[in-house]
Amino acid sequence: MIAFLDWLNGILWGVPLIALMIITGLYFTIRSGFFQFRHFGWILKHTVGTLAQKDTKVAEDKKVISPFEAICTAVGGTVGFGNIAGVATAVASGGPGAVLWMWLTSFLGLILKQVEVTLGCYYRETNDNGEKFGGPTYYMQKGLGEQRHWGNKWKILAVIFGIGIFSTFFITSSNLTASEVVAGAFNFNGITVFGYFIDGRIVVGALLCLATYIITAGGTKGVASIFSKLVPFMSIAYIIMGILMIIVNINAVPNAFSMIFTNAFTGTAAVGGFAGAAVSKIIQTGMARSVYSNEAGWGTSPMIHSSADTPHPIEQGLWGSFEVFFDTFIVCTITALSVILSGTWTDGATGGALALSAFNQSFGTVGSILLAIIMVIFTVTTSGGWFTYYLAILEHINMKKTRFSELLIKAFYAVRSLPGLLWTIYLVHAQNTGFIWTVVDITSAIPTFVNVFVILLLSNEYFRLLKDYKARYMGIGEVDDNTVLFYEDKKVED
């Protein structure tokens, strides 16, 4: 079974998807005039640079969320166990060279996420309660089905995309990863209940499951409100830990960077428990982990960004670019350097166990406990962020208010946090937690392929909006007052 999954992962993350992502990323980069590079200062100024302004933090309309809440929820969904356990696993399986390919993929991801978030906002829908929802299935329906006259053919892509996204609901490693870290940090082996021994990872997993139920009880607006407080705290705490880790090992930093750049093109020789990796494996691992970490091209972030109160779709798209920058070039880099500097990546460990070993190497028990606390927050926010993604798709299904769709949403609410716990129980008893990352890569490949293909088809809408934004806000070109900024407004005019 494991051999088959490895084979399937190699096929899905093989030449077709990698080529599609590179070609699409280069297409948007070149046609936009290298927007994500030439105007990177503008992106920072109009995203993180606006956080001191009160009106970016609180949306006046209680039915929508502010851009700040949107980015916190999106970052909560992306910055999490994937940045810690996922990146650690990438270094362990692909070697330090995988980090360079993760960076290179993210350079293109800066524009890919901007495009998908922009399209998500443009094609979004307002439901009967005044709440805004959007995402890939929405721009498939309106952009392909209505504008391009595909009829119902768009549903084929939407179903494939939806299956890919919801596969992550049933197959997830977030609960397991955090449970490993917490149980390991506190040396909690387990408890005996009524004569039955329950592994510590399962106990922790059950508590995390309960916490996620509580966090998501208020729906998308509730999750966004909580995340606007949790995400900045957890991100700053982890960055500080990572910087301290680098300072402690400052003399080894030049060699770590040397390994990242040289191994990316030469492969990695076997060291200790590490079996070595060919260049093709390094590229595949780096790209897959980049997408899983920052979710650029995956189609997930548009689902929460589409709910934001924004004056222009591109304005929210800038937050998508910042999200990739913060996620990969700051958080993931810190994790990668921490693991490489510790030297523990050759010991055969993966996931949360490897990350825990790395921080324990430099900070001892205190480092392990701090990482465990951060991982708990990361896991809950990741689960909560993905909750909003699933809900956006279900809301799309429920647009016609059929009895089946309403029951589907109720069923989702009832079991929304259980799959992660069930996987933890299964993998702990099976004593094989490593292969979950192979499955994770498979589940990210399917929706990414569909979404990147769709945004490529709808590229003209993005460039129309980008041209208007540059003229309207950046003083580049002339403003066309007839430009429609949201598809809902276009339909009203028609």
Q: Are 219 and 69 in contact (CB under 8 A)?
A: no
Integer Cα distance of 440 and 32 in angstroms: 32
- Per the rule left: phi > 0, alpha: psi between -120 and 50, beta: everything else, 477 is left
pTM for this one? Answer: 0.79
Integer Cα distance of 423 and 349 in angstroms: 19
pLDDT at residue 269, rounded to an integer: 44
Task: Give how far Cα 456 sits from Cα of 31, 102, 297, 306, Å.
Answer: 12, 22, 11, 19
Q: List beta partners, residue 225.
A: none
Torsion of CA 225, 228, 229, 234, to 10 degrees: 140
Q: Find all residues with CB under 8 Å of 164, minimum gap 6, and list them.
A: 443, 444, 445, 446, 447, 448, 450
Q: Find all residues with CB under 8 Å of 326, minimum gap 6, and list them.
A: 75, 79, 235
- Domains of the chain plus CATH, in order, are 2-493 (1.20.1740)
Integer Cα distance of 55 and 67 in angstroms: 9
Packed helices 436-457 and 154-170: angle between N→C axes, nearest 10 degrees: 160
Provide the pairing of β-strand 190-193 with 196-199: antiparallel
Integer Cα distance of 161 and 143 in angstroms: 15
At residue 270's C-alpha, the angle toward residues 264 and 276, to 5°, is 50
Q: In b/e form, how buried is each residue of 295-304, taking b as 16+ CB within 10 angstroms?
A: bbbbbbbbbb
Integer Cα distance of 372 and 184 in angstroms: 9
Q: List beta partners, residue 282.
A: none
Q: List beta partners, residue 198.
A: 191
Nearest Cα residue to 290 out of 344, 348, 335: 335
Integer Cα distance of 177 and 437 in angstroms: 11
Task: Give how far Cα 8 sits from Cα of 2, 72, 281, 298, 362, Å.
Answer: 10, 34, 14, 18, 38
Find tokens 């950046």 and name the residue. 474
DSSP annotation of 80 reads: S
Token pair for 266: 């030469």
Q: Find all residues with CB under 8 Å of 432, minimum gap 6, and list them.
A: 2
pLDDT means over runs of 10, the chain (494 residues): 72 78 93 94 87 51 58 58 69 80 87 95 83 88 92 92 83 76 83 87 89 77 67 76 83 89 68 52 69 77 84 93 87 84 72 72 77 76 74 76 80 83 81 65 84 95 96 91 85 58
